[in-house]
Amino acid sequence: MKFTISRETLLKPLQMVNGVVEKRQTMPILSNILLNATPESLTLTGTDLEVEMVTRTQLENAEPGEATLPARKFADICRALPEEAMIEISVEGDKATLRSAKSRFTLATLPVVEFPNVDEINNPYSFQISQKYMKGLIDKTSFAMAQQDVRYYLNGMLLELADNTLRAVATDGHRLSMSEVGTEHNPEEMIQVIVPRMAVMELSRMLEDSDEMLEVQIGSNHIKFSLNDVTFTSKLIDGKFPDYDRVFPKNSDKQVVTNRMLLRQALTRTSILSNEKYRGIRLQLSSGVLHTMAHNPEQEEAEEELEVNYQGGELEIGFNATYLLDALSAVDTEEVKVWLSDPNSSCLIHGLDDEQSKYVIMPMRL
Which residues are at the interface with another protein (CB under 8 A)? 151, 171, 173-176, 242, 247, 275, 278, 280, 297, 318, 320, 344, 346, 360, 362-366
Spatial contact of 201 and 172, defined as CB atoms under 8 Å apart: no
At its nearest, how many Å lie between another protein and the CB of residue 246?
A: 9
Q: At closest approach, how far in Å is the CB of 281 from another protein? A: 10
Minimum CB separation of residue 151 from another protein in Å reads 8
Closest separation between CB of residue 249 and another protein, Å? 10
Nearer to another protein, 152 or 278 (CB): 278
Q: Are 349 and 335 in contact (CB under 8 A)?
A: no
DSSP structure class, residue 153: G
Nearer to another protein, 171 or 258 (CB): 171
d(C-alpha 35, C-alpha 110), whole Å: 11
With respect to another protein, which residue has the nearer C-beta, 129 or 178?
Answer: 178
31 or 292: CB nearest another protein: 292
User: Which DSSP category does 268 fall into?
Assistant: H
Closest contact distance (angstroms) between CB of 173 and another protein is 5
Q: In what order do the strands lie in the sheet with 95-100?
A: 2-6, 86-92, 95-100, 103-108
CB contact at 8 A, 286 and 229: no
Q: How far apart are CA 366 and CA 207, in angstroms?
A: 40
List CB contacts of 66: < 8 A, sequence separation 6 or more: 1, 34, 35, 36, 37, 112
Phi then psi for residue 76, to 5 deg, are: -60, -40
Query: Whose Cβ is closer to another protein: residue 34's or residue 347's?
Result: 347
Nearer CB in complex with another protein: 14/145: 145
Using the minimum distance from each CB to another protein, give the nearer residue, 24 or 246: 246
Smallest distance from the beta carbon of 157 to another protein, in angstroms?
16
What distance in Å separates the CA atoms of residue 51 and residue 204, rounded to the nearest whole number?
14
Measured from the CB of residue 192, what is the shortest distance to another protein in angstroms?
17
- β-sheet bridge partners, residue 79: none
C-alpha atoms less than 13 angstroms from C-alpha of 37 in its C-beta half-sphere: 21
Say which amino acid occupies 22: E
The Cβ of residue 39 has, within 10 Å, a number of other Cβ atoms equal to: 11
